[in-house]
A and B are shown apart, each in its own frame.
Chain A
């Protein structure tokens, strides 16, 4: 458990290279999703570009989750939930047990599923081979995840339903006197839905400060740039006027992502608006603007350009991994030295 989440007795282990580790995981998430999109000849790529740091920071630093007891290679699909199906299995179990002191993760934009699966691989909750099942008939690794998919606790493919459910979970946990928090990952398009504002209104009214929302504000949606579809800005002041505590941060800055979650609760639900670049790490995607929602190659020439970009990224990744391995070795050696000395200090 401590190895997987970096938590010791509920406190973060003071690992001097934690940020490097998170950045490396974020890079790998992006690369893995890119690889899958190439293999499948298209897919949700901009979402990985924008939210890779967000997922890595949530799983590796922000959320306090217990170990997963679920299989690293997921079960096949075991049927939908219902009274006639005792075998139903909830994908939220990949985020660890539901213990009073542990956090919960509610994943809202279900079309980010591939990014979530890639993140689970980075934190050892899913085997890399497990991803071979992605979007294959009869598996749980669906393209738009549902609550049987790894890491997915609620069914939220119909967007903007997760926040209300998280509110109910947070209220229930408060009634039971649990200290664990409820983290929600949202996409910015969901702030167009009326239900989101009904939910913020209720979270605020019931002072559910155990809810912390991270929104990937990549300013993109299916039809194109959000400002061309339906404007949601100014999001910070809108949320604040609803009674939320809001932090607008650079969604690729790991420190900035982590800090708001470390503050003491103050009676308000917290919203971290992570402003992100939907082409981050793959600048080639800028050629596709204004519409970035789903990558479908226009022709063979475009595919070749992406193939080249992927190969270059892969080479870079090998170098980065070598560097990270060296850093880890140095750190280990350093820790051995200091742990000998620290014993005398008690």
Chain B
């Protein structure tokens, strides 16, 4: 059973920022919801509340960055890339300023419904020149993404996790830029997963391998740049084809990036993109939505069956060990 870490960002970010006086936090009325209330109380001189005014927030971040500060914007992802996109693009991305966008509630991780679910953020941020796009998949990545973002001379968008987060990867194996984690090596099927989908994928690849399928499974934490040679190697070696699994619309995210890579490298293989099939979602629990929209382990099994043209006698029960997460958890600031 994987270790569950409660709100790792709270203390980790405080520790990490202690010797970085140029790091400042900008918030848009979601301070506790983005796990920086204690940070605010620890470093009150470096914390700026800008209220529910995200267009102006982008400009303030740009100005601070131009003066040598490193702003970490903490708010829900939708309020970063949807509402103030022109400001993000023109005030921050165009001049390549070192602003870090910590986007909370990626994809269907929230019951907050369509207004709160960032389902096309990777697509839009990938299309934004100068932007580096990262996604956290476990507690280790939530802790170590700070060093990755900090090292980049330019804007960085991060899909951030909060609350109770599994630790899938050893604490001493931090996230690395443009470097996939190879979780399994095989020759028949390549599976690429990102964010919360990786835990689900691990469950399925475990059972599929036990039935004799040889799988490469890579966890992707850098959406852009996307040219890690390990990815191409895994794809090239996969006899039956490739499956991508993302907590995002299949247009413009991991699935699209993989398709682009395969086409450009002339890898003539089949590709199944698991994700939101060009649809918005609605407000419900993460577990419910993952099942409803086919972002769960059994969907991966079905995709594997399709590519290999062989049935696996696997049921949902076989994929047990599913970690159910309470929607109302005391590790979250509110029920969102």
| Chain A interfacial positions (CB closer than 8 Å to B) | 80-83, 146-147, 154-158, 161-173, 175-176, 194-195, 198-199, 201-202, 205-206
Contact = CB atoms under 8 A, between A and B. Distances in A.
B59 A147 contact: no
Interface of B: 45, 48, 50-51, 53, 55-69, 86-87, 90-91, 94-96, 129-130, 153-154
B61 A168 contact: yes
Given A168-B61, A202-B53, 4 more contacts: A81-B130, A82-B129, A154-B66, A202-B50
A172 B90 contact: no
A83 B130 contact: yes
A202 B130 CA distance: 28
Contact of B62 (A168, A176, A206): A168
Contacts of B91: 154-155, 161, 164-165
Given A161-B59, A171-B64, A175-B69, A81 B87 contact: no
A154 B62 contact: yes
B90 to A, nearest CB: 5
A165 B94 contact: no
Given A82-B154, A83-B130, A168-B67, A199 B59 contact: yes
Nearest to A146: B94
Given A154-B91, A201-B53, A171 B63 contact: yes
Contacts of B57: 164
Contacts of B130: 81-83
Contacts of A146: 94
B267 to A, nearest CB: 26
* B58, B60, B65, B68 pick with most chain A CB within 10 angstroms: B60
Nearest to B65: A168
A81 B95 contact: yes
B154 A83 contact: yes
Contact of A164 (B60, B65, B69): B60
Nearest to B55: A195
A86 B23 CA distance: 24
B60 A161 contact: no
Contact of B87 (A83, A164, A169, A202): A164
Given A82-B129, A147-B95, A173-B67, A164 B58 contact: yes
B87 A80 contact: no
Nearest to B94: A155
B68 A172 contact: yes
A220 B326 CA distance: 57
Given A82-B154, A158-B86, A165 B55 contact: no
Contacts of A158: 86, 90
The 6 A-B residue pairs whose C-beta atoms are closest, nearest first, are: A168-B63, A164-B59, A172-B67, A198-B56, A198-B53, A169-B63
A198 B54 CA distance: 9
A161 B87 contact: yes
Contacts of B59: 161-168, 195, 199
B48 to A, nearest CB: 7
A83 B91 CA distance: 16
Nearest to B92: A165
* B53, B56, B64 pick with most chain A CB within 10 angstroms: B56
B90 A164 contact: no
Nearest to B152: A83
A283 B152 CA distance: 54
A167 B94 contact: no
28 contacts: A80-B129, A82-B130, A83-B96, A154-B91, A155-B95, A161-B55, A161-B59, A161-B87, A161-B91, A163-B59, A164-B60, A164-B62, A164-B63, A164-B91, A165-B91, A168-B61, A168-B65, A168-B66, A169-B63, A169-B66, A171-B63, A172-B63, A176-B67, A194-B55, A195-B56, A202-B51, A202-B60, A206-B48
Nearest to B84: A195
